[in-house]
Structures are given as structure tokens and as C-alpha cells.
Amino acid sequence: MNPEDLRPATLEEIVGQGNAVRVLKSLAAKANDGSGFPIPSLLFFGPPGVGKTTAAIAFAKELLGPLWRENFFEMNASDDRGIDTVRDRIIPYVDSMPSDGAPFKILFLDEADMLTPEAQAALRRTMETGSETTRFILAANRVSKVIDALRSRTLPIPFRPLSDAEIRRVVDEAAKKVGLTLDPTTVDAIVLVAEGQARDAVNLLLGGGNGAENYLTITSKVEALFKGTGPVVDRVEDFTGWVRVEGYSDIERVLLTIERAVVAKGLVPKEKIPRVSYEAASSAFRVAQGLAAPVLEVRAFLYRVLGAV
């Protein structure tokens, strides 16, 4: 089954974003009460995979009813970040009239924070001139990357990571829809690996929990590493050798999985957890930026952490 088929269809079905849903339902109610209430441009911001696109689509359905599909245009700014995106794709859409007698169209621009400052400045002007035909919903993973001129012209609506209980609910509901049954241990692993992102949880579920099983495997190795009694150098070399042999390509995820396992299993004293989290994030950043050889960075991270405990 396509993960898109499991996307909540209405605002009421969205899990974990109660404040955002309340604001959007209030706006939709005012827009539909015949008073002529003007829908402002919106800025959804928060981490990926927590429901921003789902909320935009559900909001469009609330506003436009059966006409929503013909009058909803979704773009991803990460595909083309420059000013030509505004000139060649956004402006022509804004200049066209709504279809089938709809009162307006909705342009949903995902990852708007990926646009260059020049493209964002051009978008600001387009939002002003196109307000007669189009309502704008911008989504950003990092709101700090959105220029002030856009932020000041939009109603900001924050989206947060889901709690473990909310992710579990997402997994349970999706499992029922697709007729899957997972053992509780795998579900627990999915909840941990998803890190508050509903999209990741659903993808892991549809994969039969295989990605989560990798987490369980790494966790068992981490437990042996931290609870072992042999020399630290031998334990670290055994672990990094295993990572190399297994061929893990996403070393950033391995590092953060080690950190999650250390915290979840209580493998270090509580007062040491901030140090472990800091070191994991620092190592993941160095790997992502190409500043360190991946497996060597895992080794260095483990030596730093084990030396601190």
C-alpha cells in the first residue's frame, strides 16, 4: 500500500497537532460562515514528517469542499530553490483563475525555507499581488531560514514532534488499515526510531518493521559494548568493526541510534546523558558535513563517551 493512502483525510483525524488543528478549523469555520472573512497566508513550521502537508490538504478540503483537488497546487521548494521557481511556476499559477467556480485557489509551498533569500523576496511580492485569486500556505522545517518579510506576512502555526503515545496511536491505526500485526517489541522499536515523526513511523510499519529491527540489532550491540568488562579499546574496535562489516551507509543514523539506545536502556548515569547527546549530535554533524570519515567518527565518539563514564 502507498503511504499516501494512509494519510489522514480530515483535520479531525490528524494526530498530535491539536493546537494547529484548532486554529485551522476556526479559520475554516469563519471562511465558510458567509461573513467574507479573509483567510490569511499561513506559515506551517516544524520538523519533517509531523503533519504539515497533511494539514494543508485537509484544510483545503475544509475550505473548498469537492472543488479542492482542482484548486490545490503543491510545490516543493527544495526541487528548485532559485528565483526562476517564482517566475516560471508560481506566478503563472497565481495569475490563472480558480477552476469550477471556486472562490480561490490554494498554493502549498513545502520546504519554503529552502528557497534562496532572493526567491523568498520575489515570493513576498507575489503573495501580495496574487491575493485575489490565491491563498498561500508555506511550510518550513527551519523557520529561522524564512526571511522576516515573509514571516511578517503570514500567520505562523507551529507543528511539533509527536509523543511516543501519539506515534503508537499512528502505528496502531495504520496497522489496522493495512491488516498488519506486529509484535509489541517491533512496535516499541518503531516508536523509538520514528523520533516523533508520523511519516517515518508509517514507512517503518509498511516495511514490516525492518528499519526498526536494525535499531534492535544495534541496541543489543550497544548494550554489550557498554556493559562489557573487557578493555575499552577491544570493545570499541569490535563494535566499529561490526559496523564496517554490516555496511551501514547512514552513519548519522547509527550515531543517533547509539545515543537513543544509551538513553533508553540507562547505560550511563543520568547526569552523563547530556554529554552523550552532545557528542552524538556533534559527530553526526561532522559526518554530514564531510568533516570526518564515518566509521572513524563512530570510533572517536565511542572513545569520548566511554572515557567520560
Gap between the Cα atoms of 6 and 285, Å rounded = 33
Take residue 126 and report the three cell numbers written for it.
507575489
Q: Does residue 30 belong to any structural domain of this protein?
A: yes
Decide the pairing of beta strands 42-45 and 72-76: unpaired
Over residues 133-169, the pLDDT tens digits come to: 899 999 999 999 999 999 999 999 999 999 999 999 9
Residue 5, Cβ density class (10 Å: 0-12 exposed, 13-18 middle, ≥19 buried)? exposed
pTM over 0.75: yes
- Of the candidates 222, 233, 226, 299, the residue with the CA atom closest to the CA atom of residue 260: 222
Higher pLDDT, 111 or 253: 111
Q: Please indicate, yes or no, if residue 15 is contained in any of the structural domains.
A: yes
12 and 150, same domain (yes or no): yes
The domain tally of the chain equals 3
Tell whether the model's pLDDT for residue 52 goes beyond 90. yes
Residue 137's beta-bridge partner residues? 42, 108
Q: For the chain, what is the radius of gyration of the CA atoms?
A: 23
Query: Do 35 and 123 share a structural domain?
Result: yes
Show the domain range for 25: 3-158
Same domain for 222 and 271, yes or no, is yes
What Cα–Cα distance (Å) separates residue 130 from each residue in 63, 106, 155?
18, 11, 17
Helix axes 52-64, 18-31, angle to 10 degrees: 20
What is the rounded average pLDDT of the residues 14-40?
89
Query: Is residue 213 in a domain?
Result: no
Tell whether 307 and 245 lie within a shared domain: yes
Reduced to 3 states, what is the DSSP secondary structure of residue 97? coil
Kindly state whether residue 112 falls inside one of the protein's structural domains: yes
* 237 and 149 in a common domain: no
Q: Which residues pair with 42 in a beta bridge?
A: 137, 155
Does 121 lie in the same domain as 7? yes
**Do 8 and 154 belong together in one domain?**
yes
CATH code for the domain in which residue 289 is found? 1.20.272
Please indicate, yes or no, whether residues 70 and 85 belong to a single structural domain of this protein.
yes
Listed residue (167, 206, 202, 174) closest to 188, CA to CA: 167
Most confident of 55-69, 81-95, 115-129, 221-235: 55-69
Is residue 149 located within the same domain as residue 46?
Answer: yes
pLDDT in tens, 244-297: 888 777 788 788 888 888 887 888 888 889 999 999 999 988 988 888 888 899
